[in-house]
Amino acid sequence: MSPVHPLADRQLLYGLTVASAFKLHQDRPIGPEVPADVTIVDGPHMPYTEQTPAGDVLLDFGASPDRWYTAVRTPEAGYLMRVYSVCDMVITADLQHVRLHMVEGTDPGMRSVMATGALLALLLYLRGQAVLHASAVQVGAAALGFMGYSGMGKSTLAALMCADGARVITDDVLPITPATVPRVRLGATGLRLRPGARELAANFAAGTAQHCVSADERHVLIPQSGAHDELPLAALLVPAPNRQGRLELQPLPQKDALLAILKFPRLMGWCDHQVQTDMFHHAAALAATVPVFIAHVPWGPPFRGDVTERIRQTMTHSPVMSLVPARAAPPQPTGLIPTTSEGPS
C-alpha cells in the first residue's frame, strides 16, 4: 500500500479513525496524534466488469442485470468488495489498509460515498460488530434510531427530529455496541434524502443546516453537529409512511422486534457463517433490551408538527431511559413549521 497523502482527511467514523487520501465530506475530524485504524488510498482506475471477483464469497447481493455488490476473501488472504459499475475496494487481511479502484468514467465524488458507506460497513461486519441500515439522532441524553431500506423514510424522520432540536448521530450506517445498555457510535454527519424530501430544509431555522447534492444525486442535509459519542440507544423505529393521517407508534413484541432488526442489515446478502452468527446474536440481544416500534407517520411534505413530539414521548417511556444518567442536557427544540394537514392521530 502507498502511504497516505500528507493532506489526507482524518475522521472518527463509527468508532474507527479513518485516514483518507481524499476528502470524506464528513464533520468528525480527529487529529494526527491518533493512530489510524483504517487508511484509504486511490488505486489505478479499472474497466467496468460484471465478473465475480476470485475468492471465497462472503457477501453477494443482486442478480444480473442488476447486480449490486460482492465481497470475497481473496486468494492473497485479503478481501475485495466489488460494487458493480462503481469500484473495487481491495482490503488487507488485517482490515487496516484499503485501495480504491474506481471504474473508468465514474464521478470522483463517489469515492467518499463508497468509503463512508459500504466500505466502512463491511469493515465493521468483518470486525464482528452489529451494523444496521439505520439513521440515528440524539434526543436529550440518549439516541433514537430509524431503521429501514433505502426510500422508507429513515433519513427523513431523522431530519424532522433534527429540525426540532435533535442532533444527528449518523445516517445510513448505525453500528451498535451490545451491552446491558446498547450504545451507538458517531458516524456520517449528512442526512441523505430522496429528491422529494429536499423541502425539509425549510423546517430548519436560518443558518442551522446546509444542503448539497452528492455524487450519486442524493440531496444531503447537514444539520448542526454536537451529538455525543457512545450514547445509549433508547428505541428503534421502523418508518411506515401513510397518506391517511395515521400517527401511531406501534410497539413490537420481542419476537417481531428480532425479525425486524434482522430485516435491516446495512449490507444484504451475507453467506459467511461467522458474520451470520454474529448478526443473529447481536439482533437477539438488541431485541431483548431496546424497544422496537413501527412508526405509522402521516407523510409530507408538508409534515405535521406533532410527529416529533409523539416520537419524543415514546422515547421518554423507554425502559432504557431508566438506566441512562443525565449526561447531556436536551437540545432546545426550534419547532417545526406548523401545517394545516389534518387526519386522525
pLDDT means per 10 residues, the chain with 345 residues, are: 60 96 94 94 96 96 91 94 97 97 96 97 96 96 95 93 94 91 94 76 78 86 89 96 95 97 97 96 95 94 90 85 60 36 27
Q: How many CB atoms lie within 10 A of CB 228?
A: 15
CA distance 254 to 264: 16
CA distance 203 to 335: 8
Numbers of helices and strands, H then E, in the chain: 6, 20
Nearest CA to 216 among 75, 321, 118?
A: 118
CA distance 138 to 267: 24
The burial class, CB within 10 Å (0-12 / 13-18 / 19+), for 31 is exposed
Query: Can you give the pLDDT at residue 332?
Result: 41
Query: What stretch of H or E contains 233?
Result: strand 231-242
| Domains in the chain: boundaries | 9-127, 131-323
Quick one: angle between helices 254-263 and 273-289, nearest 10? 140
Query: Can you give the pLDDT at residue 303?
Result: 87
Query: Can you give the pLDDT at residue 7?
Result: 52
234, 104 in Cβ contact below 8 A?
A: no
Query: What stretch of H or E contains 277?
Result: helix 273-289
The pair phi, psi for residue 187, each rounded to 5°, is -140, -135
Query: Can you give the pLDDT at residue 329?
Result: 44
Q: Given its phi and psi angles, is residue 146 left (phi above 0), alpha (psi -120 to 50 degrees) or beta?
A: beta
Query: Can you give the pLDDT at residue 325?
Result: 65
Q: pTM (2 decimals)?
A: 0.90
CATH ID of 131-323, from 3.30.428.10, 1.10.3720.10, 3.20.20.70, 3.40.50.300? 3.40.50.300
101, 122 in Cβ contact below 8 A?
A: no
